[in-house]
Structures are given as structure tokens and as C-alpha cells.
């Protein structure tokens, strides 16, 4: 039986930190669904559809990844896909409290759901989508240090004046 997991998030945009977590998840699971939450973040830089295309481009050659958009409860999506595993990334202790809360809520809503927390590489422990957006709005030269090429090119276009 295929071991499947779902990696939900905003991914606005998808960073090398997200990539690191996805690759770690692929060491544990046969298939990973990257699920873009549509309603999270009131004022996204990229639409969910744009983010989906970007992430699909990042994993163009990897059939173990599917990218989906959802705008309802994560646990309902999990039941639909037939997986009970949620992947989340941890950067620092500060991520933990919120993640614990979400994992507990998901377990109340879907008792067999399990949250798997993966620790990012040290070199990405500072990296967030918010930081990438701030840098991109001021200086586009260093973006390749933070995002995959398929995202870099879209950030470049977005902030081109
Ligand atoms: P959300 O709004 O759901 O937090 P994000 O796109 O910000 O969506 O993050 C999705 C997941 O990826 C979260 O579990 C977050 O902790 C994790 N994550 C974000 N950036 C990194 C990073 N640099 N290293 C590891 N995990 C990360």
C-alpha cells in the first residue's frame, strides 16, 4: 500500500525551506500532496492558482508530488484523499505552540489524523515566505538563495516596475 501524506500551507511563495521539508517527507512517504490553503492570508502576493502552477513547475519531473488547492477544512480534504498524515515544518521553538494547537484541533475533528513535524536544515531555519516577499520588493538579485528557480522568475516578474 502506498504511504501518502499531505503537506498543507500558504506557500505564498514556495521557498527552499518548503522544498527542504517536502524532500524530507518524500524520504518517509511514497506520495506527498502539497495542499495550498486558499483562504489563509488575507492579501496574498500570488493567487492560489498561480502558486499551484509555480509548485507544479518546481516538481515537474517528480510524479510523487501532487499539488492541490483547498478552501475547506483540512481534515475533510484528508478524508477525500484517503490519507491521515499531515506534514508540517518546524523552524524554531516559536513555531511549536501554534503547530501543537493545530494538530490538536485536527485530531478532535478527525481522530485518526497524525501530524508529523519535520525539522528543517539549519540553513533554512530563518526563512519564511514573508521574508522572501520583503526582500523581493526591494532587491531581486539574491532571490535564488531563498526560492527555487521556477518561483524566482515569477517573483521577478511580479516586482518588475
Ligand atoms: P502556513 O500559513 O500554513 O503556516 P506556510 O506556507 O507559511 O503556511 O508554511 C507551511 C508549512 O511549512 C508550515 O508548517 C511552516 O512551519 C513550514 N515552513 C515554512 N517555512 C519553513 C522553513 N524555512 N523551514 C521549514 N519549514 C518551513
Report pLDDT for 143: 92
Output 161 or 156, whichever has higher pLDDT.
156
Is the CB of 88 inside a 6 Å radius of any atom of ligand 1?
yes
Predicted confidence at residue 43, as pLDDT, reads 87
- Res. 86: pLDDT tops 90: yes
* Direct distance between the N- and C-terminal alpha carbons of the chain, in angstroms, rounded to an integer: 50
80-105 burial string, b = 16+ CB within 10 Å, else e? ebebbbbbbbebeeebeeeeeeebee
Distance between CA atoms of residues 34 and 54, nearest Å: 12
| Residue range 77-82: mean pLDDT, rounded | 96
141: exposed, middle or buried (Cβ count in 10 Å: 0-12, 13-18, 19+): exposed
pLDDT the model gives residue 39: 72
CA distances from 48 to 27, 104, 128 (A): 27, 26, 18
pTM for the whole structure:
0.94
pLDDT at 12 > cutoff 90: yes
Query: Does the Cβ of 84 fall within 6 Å of ligand 1?
Result: no
**Which pLDDT does position 161 carry in this prediction?**
61
Determine whether the shortest distance from the Cβ of 17 to ligand 1 is under 6 A: yes
For residue range 14-67, list pLDDT tens digits in order.
999 999 999 999 999 999 999 999 975 578 999 999 999 999 999 999 999 999
In the chain, where are the structural domains located?
Answer: 4-158
DSSP-derived 3-state class of residue 129: helix
CATH architecture of 4-158: 3-Layer(aba) Sandwich (3.40)
- Cis link prior to 13 (omega < 30° from 0)? yes
Q: What is the pLDDT of residue 25?
A: 98
Is 18 part of the annotated catalytic residue set?
Answer: yes
pLDDT tens by residue, 88-138: 999 988 889 999 999 999 999 999 999 999 999 999 999 999 999 999 998
Q: Which of 40, 64, 79, 91 is catalytic?
A: 91
Segment (H or E) for 7: strand 4-9
Ligand 1, atom 18: nearest CA belongs to which residue?
A: 89
For residue range 135-151, what is the model confidence (pLDDT) as tens digits? 999 877 889 999 999 99
Residues 65 and 104: beta-carbon distance below 8 Å: no
* Ligand 1 close to Cβ of residue 11 (< 6 A): yes
* pLDDT for position 41: 59
The three three-digit cell numbers of residue 139, written as one number:
532587491
Amino acid at each position: 500500500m502506498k504511504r501518502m501524506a499531505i503537506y498543507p500551507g500558504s506557500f505564498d511563495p514556495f521557498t527552499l525551506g518548503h522544498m527542504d521539508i517536502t524532500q524530507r517527507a518524500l524520504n518517509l512517504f511514497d506520495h506527498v500532496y502539497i495542499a495550498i490553503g486558499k483562504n489563509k492570508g488575507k492579501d496574498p502576493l500570488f493567487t492560489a492558482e498561480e502558486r499551484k502552477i509555480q509548485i507544479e513547475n518546481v516538481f515537474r519531473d517528480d510524479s510523487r508530488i501532487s499539488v492541490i488547492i483547498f478552501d475547506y477544512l483540512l481534515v475533510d480534504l484528508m478524508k477525500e484523499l484517503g490519507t491521515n498524515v499531515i506534514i508540517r515544518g518546524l523552524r524554531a521553538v516559536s513555531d511549536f505552540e501554534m503547530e501543537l494547537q493545530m494538530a490538536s484541533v485536527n485530531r478532535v475533528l478527525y481522530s485518526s489524523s497524525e501530524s508529523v513535524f519535520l525539522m528543517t536544515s539549519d540553513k533554512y531555519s530563518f526563512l519564511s515566505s514573508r521574508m522572501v516577499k520583503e526582500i523581493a520588493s526591494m532587491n531581486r538579485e539574491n532571490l535564488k538563495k531563498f526560492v527555487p528557480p521556477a518561483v524566482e522568475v515569477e517573483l521577478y516578474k511580479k516586482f518588475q516596475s
